[in-house]
Amino acid sequence: MLAESAKILEEAGLPDPKLEIPKSPEHGEVSCTSAFELAKKLNKSPMDIALDVASRAKEVIERKRGLVKSVEVVRPGFINFYADWPSYAVKIIENVLNSAEAYGSSDMGKGRRILIEHTSVNPNKALHVGHARNVCLGSALARLYKFAGFNVLVANYIDDSGSQMADIILGIKYLGYPMEPPEGMRFDEYCGDKVYVEVNKLLEQKPELSEKKRLLIKEIEDRSSDSFALSREIALRVLKEQLKTCWRLGASYDILNRESDVVAFGLWEEVFSKLKKNNACYLATSGPKAGCWMLDLSAHKTLSKEGDEVLVKSDGTTTYVARDIAYAAWKLGIVERDFKYKLFGKNKDQSDILITDIDGDIDFKVKDVDITIAVVDVRQRRPQEIVKYALGLIGADPSKYVHFAYEVVSLSAKEAERMGLNVSGAEFVHMKGREGIYVKVDSVIDSIKNKIISETSQRHPDWHPQKVESVAENVAIGALVYALVKGDADKIIVFDREDALKIEGDTGPYLQYSYARACRILEKSPIKQEEVKRRETLEMQEISLLREISLFPLLVEESVKLMLLKKLANYAYNLASAFNNFYESCPVLTDDEEVMKFRLALTRAYLITMGNCLRILGIPIVEEM
């Protein structure tokens, strides 16, 4: 409809028409807003211009007799096009059925490469639901860009240096914590739930431990020390457990870049040299920062308000901001130094995952990246702005570095009470890793899953336990993933597992259930090959579903341009609602064979469209619930 409307207007004498999709179907399928722009140039009213253009457009429509049935002008100057739905319906369904899993995809990203960094959790703990938001948003972005034809590289930055790793080393090396977790406890849970939390309590009680921790931070950067070897072993063991959780959420990675290797491979050394050469940093000689190398932020309008940034401490250790700058410079390809890799393992789809290693024998070049996206929460906005500013100081194009900021996940009052916390009338509680106030991803999925297993076993006593378990796992993951991607990225999510599990309303299981319902229709159909034949009369619910299906390619394109996953999630909900309204009002398996064939084809088109949308969002497809 968009393409045909544009051609009609061009033939009517309106070059480069400005088109949009009206919010209400009352205003047609396509609306032209060019009259408002031309009114200023021609010194005429938008209404007069619109009426003149529409008059000529009607002649073209009558001559062509295509998908557009009519055109109307609506005050104060909109030119609205209405579809010939019997023809348009056939076109939509045929397009979807012929495209199948490619429906909605495009080549808008052809020849462009994007590096997306997400997850990037300190390897000292199990993932909590706040981390899961990062994983789900980053994974969905990667799938969205791939669907739009981009060459996508996914990186996970392993923060195996600095303070939080030192906490674990302190506990195991000096405070008597064993290397092995208690029986039945995963290593990442042991490090985060027990060692990390308890060591932080001891640091508050015994200030003398802080000096030992400070020395450990320095030792971790010395690759010849036993503290480095211990840190590397712990980080690797935690990482392996963390990735099991990430894979469960549908994530996949191409490369794992260890923060400690940013220094080891000389990336920081090269970037530090560039900063010095460009007079972008200086050695502080007095005051509390004496002996530290500082990034000069005086020329930045906002960053300068909080003072210059420490890059290298007086003891010679680098800050995480310094390492982030070097890593970002590497991602954009403005450093000569590069990593070496070893094979770490495989993703669920059996694609290789590489990890940086000083003894690695694999070269993996990251070159010609058009844009790099760092999925990092809003609390890191200032450090991310510093990274971007520093890139410009050493000759990079800062516009190629994008901080995809998202707000944190908090716990609802009910969720906090389930953990035994006193909420004191608060509506939600912020998670605090050091205090052990968080909900682990796997425990959330498992608790939702167990509830689904109980309900499904009662509803389907004939199902094999393995089938019940598989469906429950997928529905539980769908519930969590959708809850974490459906909102505005810049809004705090107040998480409650009971709300995420609801079958009705704006939830993952609601989308999955609508898909499964469509599968049942096709399974029961006596006709296995749907035919798309023109029907002169269509029900309102059929048209509403067709309209939603037709919008999918546009939503994908808009989501890519705006980097907005919320639009795609909202679309999935609207699509599911349109199908459920169609299902309730328009019997598919009817005695009228021609109607049945059409509605079966429409149901198939819905399945394809919803399936493609769910795959981008990372919501598992469930054919039976």
Q: What is d(CA 528, CA 408) in angstroms, rounded to the nearest whole number?
A: 47
8 A C-beta contact, residue 609 and residue 105 = no
8 A C-beta contact, residue 327 and residue 262 = yes
Asked if residue 197 belongs to a domain, the reply is no
Sign of the four-CA dihedral 481, 487, 489, 495: negative
- Burial class of residue 67, CB neighbours in 10 A (0-12, 13-18, 19+): buried
Q: What is d(CA 512, CA 471) in angstroms, rounded to the nearest whole number?
A: 10
8 A C-beta contact, residue 102 and residue 83 = no
8 A C-beta contact, residue 85 and residue 68 = no
8 A C-beta contact, residue 415 and residue 408 = no
Number of domains the chain contains: 1
8 A C-beta contact, residue 154 and residue 252 = yes
State the DSSP code for 258.
E
Asked if residue 35 belongs to a domain, the reply is yes
pLDDT value at position 411? 87
Q: What is d(CA 331, CA 346) in angstroms, rounded to the nearest whole number?
A: 22
Please state whether beta strands 371-377 and 293-295 pair in parallel, antiparallel, or not at all (unpaired). Answer: unpaired
Asked if residue 375 belongs to a domain, the reply is no
Asked if residue 276 belongs to a domain, the reply is no
Residue 25 CA to its chain's centroid (Å): 30
- Burial class of residue 125, CB neighbours in 10 A (0-12, 13-18, 19+): buried
- CATH number of the domain that 50 lies in? 3.30.1360.70
pLDDT value at position 503? 67
Asked if residue 532 belongs to a domain, the reply is no
Q: What is d(CA 352, CA 342) in angstroms, rounded to the nearest whole number?
A: 10
Q: What is d(CA 488, CA 492) in angstroms, rounded to the nearest whole number?
A: 8
Q: What is d(CA 178, CA 182) in angstroms, rounded to the nearest whole number?
A: 9
Q: What letters, b where the CB count within 10 A reaches 16 and e where it falls short, cover 501-537?
A: beeeebbbbbbbbbbbbbbebbeebeeeebebeebee
Q: What is d(CA 427, CA 507) in angstroms, rounded to the nearest whole number?
A: 21
pLDDT value at position 301? 93
235 token code pair: 């980080």
pLDDT value at position 423? 73
Q: What is d(CA 70, CA 311) in angstroms, rounded to the nearest whole number?
A: 65
Please state whether beta strands 19-20 and 30-32 pair in parallel, antiparallel, or not at all (unpaired). Answer: antiparallel
Q: What is d(CA 340, CA 233) in angstroms, rounded to the nearest whole number?
A: 19
8 A C-beta contact, residue 115 and residue 429 = no
**Nearest Cα to 558, choosing from 547, 546, 570?**
570
Asked if residue 141 belongs to a domain, the reply is no
Strand order, beta sheet including 493-495: 428-430, 409-412, 493-495
Q: What is d(CA 247, CA 68) in angstroms, rounded to the nearest whole number?
A: 46
Report the C-alpha dihedral over residues 66, 68, 73, 77, rounded to 10 degrees: -100
**pLDDT beneath 50, residues of the chain:** none
Asked if residue 521 belongs to a domain, the reply is no
Write down the pTM of the prediction.
0.93
**Which residues does residue 115 pair with via DSSP β-bridges, in sequence order?**
153, 372
Sign of the four-CA dihedral 204, 209, 215, 219: negative
**Which residues does residue 430 pair with via DSSP β-bridges, in sequence order?**
410
H helical segments located in 178-258: 187-189, 197-205, 209-220, 226-248
Asked if residue 471 belongs to a domain, the reply is no
**Which residues does residue 372 pair with via DSSP β-bridges, in sequence order?**
115, 401
Q: Find the domain containing 52 and state its range.
A: 2-83
pLDDT value at position 162? 81
Q: What is d(CA 329, CA 442) in angstroms, rounded to the nearest whole number?
A: 34
